[in-house]
Amino acid sequence: MAKAPVAKNQEMTVTIDDLTYEGMGVAKVAHYPLFVEGALPGEEVRVRIVKAEKKYAFARLEEVLVASPDRVAPKAKAYAQTGIAPLQHLAYPAQLAFKQHQVETLYQKAHLTIPVRPTLGMTTPSGYRNKAQIPVRMVNGELTTGFYKRRSHDLLPLEDFYIQDPHIDHAVLVVRDLLRQFQVPAYDEATNSGVIRHIMVRRGYYSKQMMIVLVSRTWVIPHLDELMAGITAALPEVTSLMLNLNDQATNVILGKKTRTLFGQDYLEDQLLGSTFRISPLSFYQVNPTQTEVLYTEAVRAAGLTGQETVIDAYSGIGTISLTMAKHAKQVYGVEVVPEAVKDAQTNARLNGLTNVDFVLGKAEDVMQDWQAQGLTADVLMVDPPRKGLAPSFIAAVGKMLPPKVVYVSCNPATLARDIAALQAFGYRATATQPVDMFPQTTSIESVTVLTR
């Protein structure tokens, strides 16, 4: 068995060649990869080996001897420790180039020749998140809000989350201070006891409406009336205050039951001129300005003239469907979450759109039913979760054969895999447009159009 060329605790000087998809620097010692968090390509660094495996090792960055011209001063150590902003030490133009390069690399590995355009970035790449789910725990005997350190359940107290809307950061602190004032116990993971587990806050980018959800282990909360009065007095933006019950010993944040304590059981906001109602459990893109860029790209890629029938196969609360409906003849949305379908139907009514229908079910099953009824689509719109398209869904596409597929992806690895699978049915991708939805992080969204 070949022995690793490095040993634990060994110190050495190396040159960084590349970045992994997780944003770690990569150096090679006799063709043996060394992963270094916080190091950038082109840098000469002094490192200490912390873990040596047979085929690779992890090293801690001790000192940057020759810095990359793309290195910038990080905002705070905590953002790296918690994984909130793993690319904060990389200049923003270089972050955009990194994301383009990641897609290109994955295409090369999958033997795909598809041009990748430069990533579309933000003017101000911070303070963009319109939703927060903040853990509440006891730290040194005091109820505390913050974020977990990476790969652990140790809470690091935090008051400024950098990539989050500052109004949301402020709201979390208001709720935290009121919970302290009324001595409401924080949740204890080890014993599945205590009360408040998480504070979830959503804020409408255009509407400025705010929803606060207290996630609790029990319906009974000490001083709940005073707590509600304190929150609504301190935060006049709050239009919805809710209590979510999660009494299970689980890592899942939200439970299935929610009660409205004050105001509406939804939040309203706008996207590209359409109004959307968002309930606490609904998926809604967290970067509003870049979502508009992403959806504008998707509509452009679809090449809609007003004559097309569009199927939106992962329609959620209807954000893409309603955007497409303004440019198409008819849109059919399919979604597997019942609450999301209800929200989507409400949103269509809210915007006076009559050329869009939403159906509950698995996209591959519903598409086969539609095909049996003689319904076909000119454009198939897909925006799947990170795991990408299921093989059964790709098989359904192979039966229906819509002339054009617009693929909105949040994971370039599954995107490359799925494009390769769709090629078997005669589809070819012309180009991919990355859009930076999550600045300071390694996440990559993109729009790719495939035609037969």
Only one residue has tokens 């949103």, namely: 347
C-alpha R_g of the chain: 24
Please report which residue ranges of 129-215 form alpha helices under DSSP H: 166-181
Euclidean distance between CA atoms 415 and 432, whole angstroms: 10
Q: Which residue, among 52, 114, 94, has the nearest Cα to 436 in the 3D structure?
A: 94
Q: Burial-class residue 373 by CB neighbours within 10 Å (0-12, 13-18, 19+).
A: exposed
Q: Is 410 considered catalytic here?
A: yes
Task: Provide the 8-state DSSP code for 183.
Answer: T
Task: Provide the 8-state DSSP code for 116.
Answer: B
Would you give the distance in Å from CA 426 to the centre of its chain? 31
Catalytic residue of the set 168, 410, 422, 437: 410
3-state secondary structure of 349: helix
Cα separations (Å) of 59 from 8, 70, 73, 211, 305?
9, 21, 21, 42, 54
For the chain, helix, strand, coil in percent to 5 are 25, 30, 40
Catalytic positions are 410
